Structure 1
Amino acid sequence: MNINADFDKRASAHAADTPWVASPMAGVDRRMLDRIGGEVARATTIVRFAPGSAFSPHVHTGGEEFLVLEGVFQDEHGDFPVGSYIRNPPQSSHTPASAPGCTIFVKLWQFDLADRTHVRTETTDGAYTQTAKGVETLPLFHDDHEDVVMERWAPGAQVTLDAPDGLEVLVLDGDFNEGGETFAPQSWLRLPQDACSTAQAGPDGAKVWIKRGHLKTTPSAPKV
């Protein structure tokens, strides 16, 4: 399965226009944003757990990164409310579930396979710092492979999206316009290497999750 699999091109997806697709587990549905592969895939996805749903125990051979957008995600390691940012490195395992239901943004098979760093950050408690005019930034993760942050853009702010090694943006609150498209909550934008664009925040500003630098090499399907 290939979805937005040409990483040399700009790609976008909007929640209102992206259908839910059933997963192999009852009560767990997905909006596929980009994907290379079948059920084992290099994938960027919004996943919705119905109340009381669960996945069977599994190992994340290629690592898993997720951000809780709605509700409470749960596994044997704890409860993860809205704003929780988690990195489960390659070879980690868990049993995902949600008693109250939840929606999460997930990226699979996108880690350095030697990475063994676990990250759990409650972003609602984070301290933002101003990094540019109209932009406040909360660092989430940084290594030689990628840089992950959350940003708050002031109402009407003009924000440069410079992507020498690729860039992805997910809208959490508010909205922005880029390339003639309006990106509302749970809208997603990916820019390829060497792209540069400008986003303008809407009248209420925008809160976004951003990953940079992770598309230095062309992604491929997992080798399993």
Structure 2
Amino acid sequence: MVGVARRPLDRVGEEVARATSIVRYAPGSHFSPHVHTGGEEFVVLEGVFQDEHGDYPVGSYVRNPPQSSHTPGSEAGCVILVKLWQFQPEDRTPVRLNINELASAANPDETGVSVIPLFKDTHEQVSVIKMRPHTNMQFHPEGGAELFVLQGSLQEQQDSLVKYSWLRAPIDYSLCLKTDELGAEIWLKTGHLTDVNQQIKRVMEVS
């Protein structure tokens, strides 16, 4: 699509794919109308994302469940983190939130860490984690984890993660996070990696 550029982070499949990508819409660019057979989940990182359902500024978290449809675009241009074909097929719950308008709650187990819950079901949990400068956080998420740095920077053991870094931790992996003087705000999804093989199978069945 003219004016739309993708940077794949993880992709299985061809035209139809289970994918995690950073997508940039140039000003005035639009997609044609389409159905998200396997669902779409995204976070607006820059600019304003738009479709016939509304305008979504920076910080918007959106879940378009399987069989939903829209005509996306952006008059001003935008950048989004987007995940495709990573829903349960029976999920029909749309989500429209703005992270910047939600209050965070202190994590009682970790000093200097607060949490904004975004979504939870029996298969996954999605949240935003805010870590103050020079803060440590260690946890062992069941079912694996995936994180994306929205603001700031941090270390995960020997890896340096800056703004827009993406990390996927496999099942049975312990995460050890440490912020520097900037602190960090991260988008975090946990529990979902137990279903990856089934998600890929569903993609292959319709490819």
Structure 1 or 2: more helix by fraction: 2
RMSD (CA atoms): 1.0
- How far the C-alpha of 1:134 sits from its partner, in A, is 1.5
1:8-47 residue CA offsets vs partner (Å, 9 max, x unmatched):
xxxxxxxxxxxxxxxxx01100110111001210001110
1:87 equivalenced with 2:63 (yes/no): yes
Q: Counterpart of 2:113?
A: 135
Q: Counterpart of 2:122?
A: 144
State how far apart, in whole Å, the 2-side matches of 1:217 and 1:114 are. 14
State how far apart, in whole Å, the 2-side matches of 1:197 and 1:108 are. 25
Tell me how many residue pairs correspond in the alignment.
200
Aligned pairs for 1:113-192 (under 5 A) are 113-131=89-107, 132-192=110-170
Q: Counterpart of 2:27?
A: 51
Is the CA contact (8 Å cut-off) linking 1:163 and 1:192 kept in structure 2? no
**Paired residue secondary structure (2:194):** coil
Q: Counterpart of 2:192?
A: 214
C-alpha spacing 1:56/1:174, structure 2 compared with 1 (3 Å): same
**Paired residue secondary structure (1:145):** coil
- How far the C-alpha of 1:193 sits from its partner, in A, is 0.5
Q: Mark the runs of 5 or more structure 2 residues left unpaired by the alignment.
A: none
State how far apart, in whole Å, the 2-side matches of 1:62 and 1:46 are. 18
Give the TM-score taking structure 1 as reference length: 0.87
Give the letter for the 2:114 counterpart. E
State how far apart, in whole Å, the 1-side matches of 2:184 and 2:41 are. 22
Share of identical aligned residues, percent? Answer: 54
Q: Which of 202-211 and 178-187 deviates more?
A: 178-187
1:35-83 residue CA offsets vs partner (Å, 9 max, x unmatched):
1001210001110000001111100000000000000000000100000
- How far the C-alpha of 1:156 sits from its partner, in A, is 1.2
- How far the C-alpha of 1:199 sits from its partner, in A, is 1.1
**Paired residue secondary structure (2:100):** helix
State how far apart, in whole Å, the 2-side matches of 1:75 and 1:218 are. 29
State how far apart, in whole Å, the 1-side matches of 2:8 and 2:67 are. 23
Give the letter for the 1:53 counterpart. S
State how far apart, in whole Å, the 2-side matches of 1:198 and 1:168 are. 13
Give the TM-score taking structure 2 as reference length: 0.94
Q: Counterpart of 2:45?
A: 69
1:201-221 residue CA offsets vs partner (Å, 9 max, x unmatched):
121100010000001134325
Where does structure 1 differ by over 4 angstroms across 4 or more consecutive aligned residues? Answer: none
